[in-house]
Structure 1
Amino acid sequence: MKKILLCLTAMLLSFGSFAKGNLPRTIVTTDGEIDDVDTFIRMLLYTNEFHVEGLVYSSSMWHYSGDGKGTLFSSEMDMTKKIYPKPRTSLRWPGVTWIQELLNQYEKVYPNLVLHSKLYPTPNYLKSLVKVGNIEFEGEMSKITEGSELIKQKLMDETDSEEIYLQAWGGTNTIARALKSIEEENSRKANWSAIKRRISQKAIIYTIMDQDATYKNYIGVNWPEIRVFYNANQFWCMAYPWKRQVPKAFQKYFEGAFMGPLIHEHGPLLKKYYSYGDGQKQEGDEENTHGDLRIHKPQGVFQTYDFISEGDSPAFLNLMDTGLDNYKNPSFGGWGGRFVKSKDNPFRYEDGDTAADLNPETGKMDKAFPQTRWLEAMQLDFLARAAWCVKPYEAANHAPWITVKEGTRLFAKAGASLTLHVSAQDKDKNSVVQFKAWPYEEAGSGKADVRLQDAQVHVKIPETAQKGQSYHVIVEGADNGVPVLTRYRRVVIMIN
């Protein structure tokens, strides 16, 4: 009996049977483009920040496997109709093994990662989550798949009512199939309204563009109360046209001089990261020529080891607890972008012109700046996480934790003056944290006057403030480690 218990214990430890605690739950669906691969590698370094419960292959308007029967398919999306006007049997399909291959590399660095956080999931646990979803064609949602069943079961599980954050790095078709299965199996039951309400409250979808039509045609029509964070503009600063989106001051963090050492000095997982001119070629995607600067179209624009794209990284970065309190409040803004409530659907949050921030480099309102304003801190944080793959705890840097003595939800009258006392805790010895404080005008009702003196933030509310309005103050703390790491505390002052 003792041997049996020991074996069971070893198995449980191997499959990562750790408690998720207060970490948000998430399932990833991905079409496997090279930017998904790079996003996935970065995400693995942050899997101690959220509880992954599914890794699902899916299709999109850019990538699908075909059905193996020679069936021809034409896109219904305007962009891909123009790019691929002729019917096809498949499109740039990278296969259904690349996740497992990356998890094999994660397994090699996992012993070092857990020196920095015990919350990293075990490789075997993550491997157990990999499922194939709806991959045959763009928007295909007619077939029940292992991936759709996983999502369905997580949503229907009444023993765990915590919300599930569904990331759509490609199309939403596998998510749509899961919801369709729930509808088909339950819509005739007497308690269908209660089931539908429970599922709608449990699911959150973060989607990078519409990469198929299943949200428009099915999810939005039949499940209008599912919360959706729709990123159609801000993600471009972390995607292929980043040189047109990223402020000049931050572009050095995407160039080969920064990215090359990050990739090549931090172990086997990072070496699988795609970058310009690195000689790598994704199998199955004939259009992936980025690894050869001699034949890639923007020859001369990019240099060796320059960043290519991580267009889907905002989806998981939105789960990061950096102190910005954005996960529950999408209009607040954070590392995953900033979104405003749709005029047509109060459960849908969107970016675009109404979610623009003032870009101080150009002096203009900028649809990308709610994301680009954080890029320097995000890239330095990525470098620190890469170091966790190879360095012991004492030789690496870890982010500070910022505290505001007065709290983060305060009330004041128009014209009032407030003083906030800020402090920081840092896990690393001999660390010094430098503070900044600034008003986030676009996230609230306007701009308060904010001044930092020593460890005190002095805030003056405008005399014109009205009852019910809010003013956001961001307290920012950066340590003096290598690389410099930054965390925040957002104070929201409500006018009474």
Structure 2
Amino acid sequence: MKQRAIQLSLIFGFLFSIGIAKAQEQLEKPRTIVTTDGEIDDVDTFIRFLLYTNEFETEGLIYSSSMWHWKGDGKGTKFTSEMEMTRNIYGENLTDLRWPGTQWIEELLTEYAKVYPNLILHDENYPTPDKLLSLVRIGNIDFEGEMAKRTEGSKLIAEKLLDDDEREIFLQAWGGTNTIARALKSIEEDYSKSRDWEAIKEKVSKKAIIYTIMDQDATYKKYIGPNWPNIRVFYNANQFWCFAYPWKRVVPKSQQPYLEGSFMGPNIINDHGPLLKKYYSYGDGQKQAGDPNHFEGDILKIVNTERGSFSKYDFISEGDSPAFLHLVDVGLDNYEDPSRGGWSGRFVLSDENPYRYEDGDKAADLNPETGEMDKSYPQTRWIRAMQLDFAARADWCIASFEDANHAPSILVEGGMSISARPGDTLTLTLSAKDPDNHPVALNAWCYDEAGSGKAEVTSKENIATVQIPETAKTGDQFHIIVEGTDTGFPALTRYQRVVLTAE
């Protein structure tokens, strides 16, 4: 076997390159619009979202409806859900359903304004409260799947999809896709008879990415899919459950302590400022207006539930957080290709639709705790790192820069894409830079399912040795994840992904 040492000097102009990279990062931040039905898990997702708004460019915060939450038209009109699950649970001929109102975003932005002066001590790129407030719109909320009329929310989405900014618009559907569908329908109505229609449709199709948590109404299947088939869709129907209500049945035992009240209470919810105090957790005494199903705050009702038994401050649900976590660059390089896997989960390209990425059995990862393929493990494998990162952001709400922890940067000499021959042994030189000058423990491992299979990796201090299988075929790829965890508190982890391609 031939020994290859992949080594390049960091003298390469390290400080200069970091400066260039930072400037480019600010120019190329992903653009995103959130649509939300306001369920309690959306509220908790939104609180975490606010603490990560320095990582992307928020361009809209839109109230929408779903199969679980809609306002009604105020005229007593009765409505029966198109979704079988909703009909089975709530029945037919309803005039409204568990509607949380259209003030909760503004109320949370009021709390964000109180911690904003402290957040910008840690990153000046946090958007101002006034900026975020200016982005709030009411979308299509009267009924589940309602997309008959243009709303301020749908008009904002259409405007952004048609503007001259060539960057993509990452459309997050935390509830139904109906307001997004209405925006697309408006574009079709306005331009389908014009001579430029094909060019406009192509532009919008290339620009839009929809990350949807399940189908929470029928508008994707009935309108978006058939009429806009070239819009990319990241469809999360399985992995989000581990970060949602049934987490105790899904999350590996080793990860569950980071969702329990003994961690959540002291490290995130309590004594971390007014925004985090609004975070819904088990037994916290809070009750969402408009939702009679919200029992979780009652300490007397959280033992022996159908989801399990819970303690005070236990995590309830953030089923929509995977959507925005796809935008947070932690070094896993998965934004363009969700099959690589990251904090938002891992998705594979649909056999039927080349523009649709899905989770499910084909996107399962091997769970080392069970020794079985697990369709939730692409998400649960990151929970510890994500929760510690959330705790650090909670600290940013109250602590000075010197008294809080900040994530390291991980470096690999030789580049992120390397060609190799079957049987080759490659040596990667690893290093890290920590803004708080904490030591960083480095490790490397092969993400087998993200590539073509397993490559043997041994890691010691700042050297990782990778053995390409003798059986590798031309074009096979092996994804080596280099991770570094600092020694601050909460301990923070960042990554680099090195893709080795057999030639």
Matched ranges for 1:12-411 at <5 A: 21-157=27-163, 159-261=164-266, 262-296=268-302, 298-299=304-305, 301-411=309-419
State whether structure 2 residue 446 is matched by structure 1 residue 439.
yes
State whether structure 2 residue 473 is matched by structure 1 residue 466.
yes
Structure 1 counterpart of 2:236, one-letter code: N
Compute the displacement of 1:494 (Å): 1.1
Say what the alpha-carbon RMSD is for the aligned residues. Answer: 1.0
Structure 1 counterpart of 2:229, one-letter code: P
Compute the displacement of 1:295 (Å): 3.2
Over 2 Å off, 4+ runs? 295-300
Structure 1 counterpart of 2:113, one-letter code: E
1:451 to 451, 455, 458: 458
Contact 1:23/1:51 (8 A) holds in 2? yes
Structure 2: unaligned runs, 5 residues or longer = 1-24
CA distance in 1, matches of 2:110, 2:209: 29
Aligned to 2:17: none
Greater relative contact order: 1 or 2 (C-alpha under 8 angstroms, separation 6 or more)?
A: 2
Structure 1 counterpart of 2:322, one-letter code: P
CA distance in 1, matches of 2:301, 2:192: 54
Structure 2 counterpart of 1:187, one-letter code: S
1:477 to 470, 484, 493: 484
Contact 1:20/1:51 (8 A) holds in 2? no
Compute the displacement of 1:297 (Å): 7.2
CA distance in 2, matches of 1:390, 1:294: 32
CA distance in 2, matches of 1:113, 1:492: 35
Could you give the per-residue CA deviations for residues 51-101 of structure 1, whole angstroms, max 9, x where no partner exists? 000000000000000000100000011211111222100000000000000
Q: Report the secondary structure of 1:177's partner residue.
A: helix
Contact 1:330/1:339 (8 A) holds in 2? yes
Could you give the per-residue CA deviations for residues 431-455 of structure 1, whole angstroms, max 9, x where no partner exists? 1000111100000001001111221
Contact 1:236/1:311 (8 A) holds in 2? yes
CA distance in 2, matches of 1:400, 1:295: 42
Could you give the per-residue CA deviations for residues 18-56 of structure 1, whole angstroms, max 9, x where no partner exists? x95221100000000000000000010000000000000
Structure 1 counterpart of 2:41, one-letter code: D
TM-score by length of 2: 0.94
Could you give the per-residue CA deviations for residues 402-433 of structure 1, whole angstroms, max 9, x where no partner exists? 0111111111111111111111011003x100
Could you give the per-residue CA deviations for residues 209-258 of structure 1, whole angstroms, max 9, x where no partner exists? 00000000000000011000000000011100000111101111111111
Contact 1:172/1:212 (8 A) holds in 2? yes
Q: Report the secondary structure of 2:171's partner residue.
A: strand
Structure 2 counterpart of 1:390, one-letter code: I
Contact 1:30/1:56 (8 A) holds in 2? yes
Fraction of identical pairs, as percent: 66
CA distance in 2, matches of 1:447, 1:20: 35
Q: Report the secondary structure of 2:198's partner residue.
A: helix
Choose 247-256 or 290-299, whichever is displaced more. 290-299
Contact 2:302/2:309 (8 A) holds in 1? no
Q: Report the secondary structure of 1:228's partner residue.
A: strand
Q: Report the secondary structure of 1:269's partner residue.
A: helix
Could you give the per-residue CA deviations for residues 288-320 of structure 1, whole angstroms, max 9, x where no partner exists? 011003235745700111000000000000111
Structure 1: unaligned runs, 5 residues or longer = 1-18
CA distance in 2, matches of 1:74, 1:291: 29
Compute the displacement of 1:148 (Å): 0.1
The number of residue pairs the alignment matches comes to 476
Compute the displacement of 1:277 (Å): 0.5
Q: Report the secondary structure of 1:463's partner residue.
A: coil
CA distance in 2, matches of 1:414, 1:436: 23
Structure 2 counterpart of 1:318, one-letter code: H
Compute the displacement of 1:194 (Å): 1.0
Contact 2:302/2:311 (8 A) holds in 1? no
Q: Report the secondary structure of 2:402's partner residue.
A: helix
Contact 2:282/2:302 (8 A) holds in 1? no
TM-score by length of 1: 0.95
CA distance in 2, matches of 1:225, 1:492: 28
